[in-house]
Structure 1
Amino acid sequence: KIKKSESYHNLGNSLLKEQKLDEAIEAYKNALRNNPKDLDTKYNLAYAMRMKNQSQEQEKEEQKEEEKEEDKKEEKEEQEEEEKDKGENQEEK
């Protein structure tokens, strides 16, 4: 069981280096199923989970920024449309 645990631990490390966080987390969990007292694996699992949370938070922030940019663009287009309409109305008078 220890060998199996080490294999999963090493797999988790490799996946973590490749930023495959979900897969790394699963590998560390499998390692702990085979050797629940392995402190290195517990630490690496916690680290991978923290990295995943940070990644998700960053994605949320980026999405908010994209939405703000889209809103600004739409607002600008609406203002330009209103100004265009005003100009056309004044020409008609």
Structure 2
Amino acid sequence: GGSTPSATLPLVMGARYFKDKRYLESAKRTVNYLEKELISKSDYFSSTLDANCEDKEASLYASTAAYYLALVSKGAEREHYAALAKKAAYFALS
């Protein structure tokens, strides 16, 4: 996880600005990684200074990354990324 979510927004913006799908595909890979390694496991521990504690901030970054990707996606893909954003946000609010 670490800094992975921070790459998503610039990649999404790059895809729209440069009209280059490679940026969008890279953004999708970052969120797919977040889904597999953090969101689906609710494993937000390793990104904090004290790795034995939950890191609520990490879930906010993951949520924001999925949200930005949902904004530029369509159909079922959009719903999927929006659901990931909600799941990560719920962890932050719990």
TM range (shorter): 0.3 to 0.5
Higher helix share: 1
Larger Rg: 1
Q: With CA pairs under 8 Å and 6+ residues apart, which has the higher RCO, 1 or 2? A: 2
